[in-house]
C-alpha cells in the first residue's frame, strides 16, 4: 500500500474551526482521518499539511507509523510548536485509523485492548452565583453524570469587558455586575477580557462549600484555575479547597511557572492536573518523574497525535500519574475519538473531558462517540470508528474572527496568560 494524497479539510459545524486530515491510499476506498485542530490558527495547519507533509509523505508505506512520525518531526529541522505538531497529529491519527481499518480492529485493540468498558467523563457547570452553578450541576446529575467541573463569575467578572464588537455571545450576561464595579472605575483603553483575580480567588472556596453542603461528597467535583492567578495565590487556593475533596484542580500555574509545583505539592494534598498547553516532552518530563502532578491533561493533537500520547501515557503510568486528555469544543470529534481509544486502552486512565455533540456534529462526523450514563462510549468499528461526510462538512465553512478571551487582563489593563 502507498500513500497517494494527504489533504486538510476545514469545517465549522458549531462555529468552531476544525481541521481534519485525510490520508488517501492506492487501495480503493481505503483512507484514514485524523484531528489537526488548532482552532486559533487553522489555515496555517492546513498549509503545513498541504504544502509540506503531502509532498513529503506521498508514495510512502502508511504501515510505518512510527517512522513517519519521526520523519515529520525531524524533516523541517526546526521542530515542535502548535502548527507543526497539529499537522503531524492529523497524519498520525489518520495512519492509526487506517491501520485499524486494514486490521479490521478498533484502534483500542491495536493499543492492547480494552482496560474498561467506557470512559468516565466530566462536564462543565458555570454560573454567576453559587445557586446558579448548583442548578447547572443538577442538570448534569439528572443525566447520570458522575463528575462536574465548577466555575463561577468569569474569574471575578469581565467588565466592559470584552472590547466593543468582539463580545462573545452569551458570556456577557453571565457576569455578576457587583463584581464589575471595582474595575469600572478605571477606564483602561487596552482591549481584552477583563477579570479580577482577587475577587475570583476569594469566591471559589465559598462556591465549593455551598455546593458540597447541598449535594454531599458522592459526586466528583473539579475546578480549573486556568493560570488566572499569581502563583502564590494558586497555592493558597489549593490549600483552601482541600476540605472539599476535589477530583482535581487544573492549571494552577502557567507552563512557564513550573518551579512552583514543588511548593504547591508541599503545601497541599489537592490533586493537580496540568498540561493542555504542552508541546514537548521537556515540558512534562520533570512534572511526571518528580510526581508533582496527578493528572496529565495534554491536548493530543497539540503534542503530535496518538504516537507521542501513548508513550506519554506509559511514562505517566510508571509514576502514578493518570490521564485526563484535553477535550473541549476545539478538539474535533475525530480528536475526541482518539482520546477515547486511549482512554479505553490505557491502564492509568483517569477521566475524560467532553462536550455536548450537536446534531450537526453527528451529521458531519458519523460515528462520533456517544455520551451515556456519565461515560463516553466507543463503537466497535475498525480504526477510530468515525468518518467525515465531506459534503456535509462543506456546508459549514470556517470564518476567522480574532478572539478576545486570550487577551485576558487584570483591572489595570495588565495582560495575563489566559
Torsion region of 175: left, alpha or beta (phi above 0 gives left; psi -120 to 50 gives alpha): beta
Selected range binding Mg ion among 152-160, 222-230, 311-319, 381-389, rule: CB under 5 A = 222-230
* Secondary structure (3-state) at 189: coil
Q: Which of 54, 92, 224, 283 binds Mg ion (CB under 5 A)?
A: 224
Instruction: Specify the residue, 100 or 418, whose C-beta has the smaller distance to Mg ion.
Output: 418
Cβ atoms of 312 and 284 closer than 8 Å: yes
Is residue 330 near Mg ion by the rule CB under 5 A? no
- Stretch 21-80 residues interacting with Mg ion (CB under 5 A): none
Counting other chains too, the contacts that 234-238 makes at CB distance below 8 Å and 24 or more residues apart are 234/260, 234/264, 235/260, 235/263, 235/264, 235/267, 235/268, 236/201, 237/201, 237/204, 237/205, 238/264, 238/267, 238/268, 238/270, 238/272
Cβ burial of 265 (10 Å; 0-12, 13-18, 19+) is middle
Cβ atoms of 155 and 195 closer than 8 Å: yes
Selected range binding Mg ion among 44-52, 138-146, 220-228, 370-378, rule: CB under 5 A = 220-228
Minimum distance, C-beta of residue 351 to Mg ion, in the bound complex (Å): 13
Instruction: Specify the residue, 224 or 294, whose C-beta has the smaller distance to Mg ion.
Output: 224
Instruction: Specify the residue, 86 or 345, whose C-beta has the smaller distance to Mg ion.
Output: 86
Instruction: Specify the residue, 25 or 331, whose C-beta has the smaller distance to Mg ion.
Output: 331
Which residue reads 509514576 in cell numbers? Answer: 319
* Residue whose beta carbon is closest to Mg ion: 224
CA-to-CA separations, 245 to 102, 161, 242, 271, 293, in angstroms, rounded = 46, 33, 6, 9, 16
Cβ atoms of 321 and 298 closer than 8 Å: no
- Stretch 246-285 residues interacting with Mg ion (CB under 5 A): 276
Element (H, E) at 376: strand 375-377
Instruction: Specify the residue, 149 or 179, whose C-beta has the smaller distance to Mg ion.
Output: 149
Selected range binding Mg ion among 12-20, 58-66, 221-229, 310-318, rule: CB under 5 A = 221-229
Q: Cα–Cα distance between 97 and 95 in angstroms, integer?
A: 5
Residues annotated as catalytic are: 155, 226
* Interface with Mg ion: number of residues (CB under 5 A): 2
Minimum distance, C-beta of residue 85 to Mg ion, in the bound complex (Å): 18
- Stretch 82-141 residues interacting with Mg ion (CB under 5 A): none
Minimum distance, C-beta of residue 71 to Mg ion, in the bound complex (Å): 32
Q: At what angle do helices 82-103 and 65-75 cross, to 10 degrees?
A: 170
Selected range binding Mg ion among 37-45, 224-232, 301-309, 332-340, rule: CB under 5 A = 224-232
Q: Cα–Cα distance between 75 and 53 in angstroms, integer?
A: 10
Minimum distance, C-beta of residue 250 to Mg ion, in the bound complex (Å): 5
Instruction: Specify the residue, 271 or 385, whose C-beta has the smaller distance to Mg ion.
Output: 271
Minimum distance, C-beta of residue 394 to Mg ion, in the bound complex (Å): 31
Q: Cα–Cα distance between 186 and 189 in angstroms, integer?
A: 9
Minimum distance, C-beta of residue 244 to Mg ion, in the bound complex (Å): 19
Q: Which stretches of the chain bind Mg ion, using CB under 5 A?
A: 224, 276
Amino acid at each position: 500500500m502507498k500513500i497517494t494524497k494527504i489533504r486538510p479539510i476545514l469545517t465549522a459545524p458549531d462555529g468552531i474551526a476544525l481541521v481534519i486530515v485525510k490520508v488517501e491510499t492506492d487501495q480503493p476506498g481505503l483512507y484514514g482521518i485524523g484531528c489537526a485542530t488548532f482552532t486559533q490558527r487553522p489555515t496555517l495547519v492546513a498549509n503545513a499539511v498541504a504544502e509540506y507533509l503531502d509532498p513529503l509523505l506521498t508514495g510512502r508505506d502508511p504501515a510505518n507509523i512510527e517512522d513517519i512520525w519521526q520523519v515529520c518531526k525531524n524533516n523541517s529541522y526546526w521542530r515542535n510548536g502548535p502548527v507543526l505538531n497539529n499537522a503531524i497529529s492529523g497524519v498520525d491519527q489518520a495512519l492509526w485509523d487506517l491501520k485499524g481499518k486494514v486490521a479490521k480492529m478498533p484502534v483500542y485493540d491495536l493499543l492492547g485492548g480494552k482496560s474498561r468498558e467506557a470512559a468516565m467523563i466530566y462536564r462543565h457547570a458555570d454560573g454567576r452565583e453559587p445557586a446558579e452553578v448548583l442548578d447547572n450541576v443538577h442538570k448534569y446529575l439528572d443525566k447520570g453524570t458522575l463528575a462536574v467541573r465548577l466555575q463561577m463569575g468569569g474569574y471575578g467578572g469581565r467588565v466592559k469587558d470584552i472590547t466593543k464588537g468582539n463580545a462573545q455571545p452569551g458570556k456577557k450576561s453571565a457576569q455578576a455586575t457587583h463584581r464589575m464595579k471595582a474595575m469600572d472605575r478605571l477606564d483602561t483603553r487596552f482591549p481584552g477580557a477583563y477579570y479580577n483575580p482577587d475577587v475570583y480567588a476569594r469566591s471559589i472556596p465559598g462556591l465549593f462549600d455551598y455546593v458540597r453542603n447541598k449535594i454531599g461528597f458522592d459526586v466528583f467535583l473539579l475546578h480549573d484555575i486556568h493560570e488566572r492567578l499569581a502563583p502564590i495565590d494558586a497555592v493558597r487556593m489549593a490549600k483552601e479547597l482541600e476540605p472539599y475533596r476535589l477530583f482535581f484542580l487544573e492549571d494552577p500555574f502557567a507552563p512557564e511557572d513550573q518551579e512552583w509545583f514543588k511548593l504547591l505539592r508541599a503545601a497541599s494534598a489537592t490533586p493537580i492536573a496540568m498540561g493542555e498547553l504542552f508541546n514537548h516532552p521537556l515540558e512534562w518530563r520533570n512534572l511526571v518523574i518528580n510526581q508533582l502532578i496527578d493528572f496529565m491533561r495534554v491536548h493530543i493533537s497539540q503534542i503530535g497525535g496518538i504516537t507521542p500520547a501513548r508513550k506519554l501515557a506509559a511514562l505517566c503510568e510508571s509514576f502514578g500519574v493518570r490521564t485526563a486528555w484535553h477535550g473541549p469544543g476545539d478538539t474535533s470529534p475525530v480528536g475526541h475519538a482518539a482520546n477515547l481509544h486511549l482512554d479505553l486502552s490505557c491502564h492509568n486512565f483517569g477521566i475524560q473531558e467532553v462536550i455536548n455533540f450537536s446534531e450537526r456534529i453527528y451529521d458531519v462526523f458519523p460515528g462520533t462517540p456517544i455520551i451515556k450514563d456519565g461515560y463516553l462510549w466507543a463503537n466497535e468499528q475498525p480504526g477510530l470508528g468515525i468518518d467525515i461526510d465531506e459534503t456535509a462538512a462543506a456546508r459549514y465553512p470556517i470564518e476567522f474572527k480574532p478572539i478576545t478571551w486570550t487577551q485576558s487582563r487584570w483591572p489595570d489593563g495588565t495582560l495575563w496568560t489566559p
